[in-house]
Amino acid sequence: MNDQLIRRKRPLSLQEITLAQSIIVNAADWSKVLIADGAWWLVYPHTAITCNNTIVFPRNYYQQDFSQCNLDMQAWFVHELVHVWQHQHGFPILFAGVCLAIKGGYYRARAYQYPDLSSIKSFDYLNMEQQARVIQHYFLAKNGDRRYVKWLPQYRRLLKPLLQNPHNRHLLPRHY
Ligand SMILES: [Zn+2]
């Protein structure tokens, strides 16, 4: 990460770690995670980028503590934490991100759309963005968000293996 593009960099707050634990307990070493704000808005004004253990938010969205934000911001934060989980378990998130970009996956956010929950055989059939999006929506469902709460049992079914054993590498995406 080019440090000239980074203005601030900080570890997770205690409340942010609690938030992370509330979704996927001990799924990653959260003490290694750094939150930064950067100039990615030059390219993607509304997109965060997770480089291994560093999550860079566009300057306008950077928060001192994401756990104190509204649910949608917390869910966005959770989405990025899923990329940290993928990275810490050996999934090449940067390479896979480039592959998705080459395939046009980020155009109109196609890479993020996941199939009907009941049709997803297993979590590892999802690409890295779909995995992050599913957990982002699961978080919203768990917190009573009306858009997702009705599918909470299906999110639970799909995520059960991950919630039971977040260190199972077989749950990482099979495909880039
Ligand atoms: Zn993502």
Cα of 132 vs centre of ligand 1, distance in Å, is: 6
The CA 77 to ligand 1 mean position distance, Å, reads: 10
What's this model's pTM, rounded to 2 decimal places?
A: 0.92
CB 2, CB 49: distance < 8 Å:
no
Asked whether the beta carbons of 46 and 64 are under 8 A apart, the reply is: no
Q: Which residue has the tokens 């199972």?
A: 168
Cα 131-109-34 angle, rounded to 5 deg = 55
pLDDT band with cut points at 50, 70 and 90 for residue 4: low
State residue 49's pLDDT score. Answer: 86
Query: Would the CA dihedral through 43, 48, 50, 56 be positive or negative?
Result: positive
Q: What would the pLDDT profile of 69-80 be if each residue is shown by its tens digit? A: 999 999 999 999
Q: How far is the centre of ligand 1, averaged over its atoms, from the C-alpha of 73 (Å)?
A: 14
User: How remote is the CA of residue 146 from the centroid of ligand 1, in Å?
Assistant: 22
pLDDT at 82 over 70: yes
Domain boundaries, the chain: 3-171
Span from the CA of 83 to the centroid of ligand 1 (angstroms): 7
